[in-house]
Structure 1
Amino acid sequence: MLQLSSRFAVALVLLAAAAVPVAAKDKAPMPRPAQIQQLYDCREISDAAARLACFDREVGELQAADTQREITFADKETVKKTRRGLFGFDLPDLGIFGGGDEDKVKSVETTVASTSNTVNGGYRIEMADGSVWVQIDNKRMPLAPRPGQKILIKTASFGTYFLSLEGRPSIRVRRER
């Protein structure tokens, strides 16, 4: 009976995998903000005085939009830090933090700030970066996590994550905050 159940589970997984559409490798980029496009359009003006006037006007409008927080700029390093800070949250892909799989954070290394036990005997671990992770499996760790210990959290399957404490066998966790 157990063998039949295993085969059935494998068949279901294969069927589900076949049913999921393959994501396009090259997604269409997000449309450029109107303020930026208008600035770029100034380059097309052939008359030097008119082009300069266009640049001055559009840069002024861009600065006003930035001051009023209607538009925000972020460099690649800021985007990386933001993605790392959001690691573990199931957020929709809005295209604002980079594009493809090469930009995705696949693991995070940090240290334990504090730990507590959950009602089901697992751990709730607060990290030095402020994130909080909760154990969702029933594996027992040989030693309880202590402040200052190094943690590696890696992406697992089905929206879960593996947490490894100083290279020991990992436990399955989810991000709480």
Structure 2
Amino acid sequence: MNARLLILLPASLITAPALAQGGDSPLDPLFTCRDIADDGARLACLDAAVDALRSETESGEVVAVDREQIEAAEEATYGLTIPQFRLPGLSLPGGGEDAELAELESASASPQRVIVRDTNGQIESIEGLAVAEISENRSGDTIVRLANGQVWRQTDDTYVQLTRSRADTDYTATISNGALGSHFMRLDNGGRRFRVERVE
């Protein structure tokens, strides 16, 4: 059996930074009630706290998500300048379209990918991402469109080595963190890594 972590969060806090930092739990009133010694008072407190929590979930002020949903959303928004997102199947304010996120987070696009996280659980790199297309813009920057729908643009002048006889879809890419929120990409043909930014 796979263990799943159920997390209740205020809908207004469903952003990447908020998920990383945490905050007051909607379950805190329940925990407070549990410490009441008198049985009748404790039961009354618990009933009131449960009723309040039910009301908040029904109104959408509080949503329940599991660890898999959070990690999928973090992966889908990796590299975005403003990492605010909508979790799959949930109607939350300030995010993108559900269909777009579902496409971005699809594990089937890169089934062999490996996500490397630091000791705080934040993504350090994603390896083995399937490539859909490699092209150049008018400035000569390499544009890499991944099979998961993400588009990354080269931002330095590093020569990006490609093999003419190799189809774009035969490549995989590794994207890793750089300094000050920057990112690097390396294709799996032994070439040098180059600095990139996510544009879609």
Q: TM-score range by the shorter chain?
A: 0.5 to 0.7
Question: Residue deviations 1:95-133, cap 9 Å, x none?
Answer: xxxxx9622111012111223321111222111222110
For 2:196, the equivalent position in structure 1 comes to 173
Q: Shift in Å at residue 135 of structure 1?
A: 0.7
Is the CA contact (8 Å cut-off) linking 2:142 and 2:160 kept in structure 1?
A: no
| TM superposition score normalised by structure 2 | 0.61
Describe the superposition over 1:11-51 as per-residue Cα deviations: whole angstroms up to 9, x where unpaired: xxxxxxxxxxxxxxxxxx65414x42222211122222332
Distance 1:152 1:31 in 2: 32
Task: Pick which of 59-68 and 69-78 moved more.
Answer: 69-78
Partner of 1:116: 135
- More displaced, 46-55 or 133-142? 46-55
Q: What is the TM-score of this pair, normalised by structure 1?
A: 0.68
Alignment of 1:159 with 2:181, yes or no, is: yes
RMSD: 2.6
Task: Give 1:129's aligned residue.
Answer: 148
Other-structure match for 1:104: 122
Q: Where do 5+ consecutive residues of structure 1 fail to align?
A: 1-28, 93-99
Q: How many Å apart are 1:134 and its aligned residue?
A: 0.3
User: Which has the larger strand fraction?
Assistant: 2
Q: Deviations over 1:120-165 (max 9, x none)?
A: 1122211122211001112222216712421100112233211111
Unaligned runs of 5+ in 2: 1-20, 84-117
Question: Of the candidates 24, 28, 36, which is equivalent to residue 32 of structure 1?
Answer: 24
* Partner Cα distance (1:67, 1:131) in 2: 34
Q: For 1:106, what is the secondary structure of its paired residue?
A: strand
SS in 1 for 2:179: coil
Percent of pairs with identical residues: 28
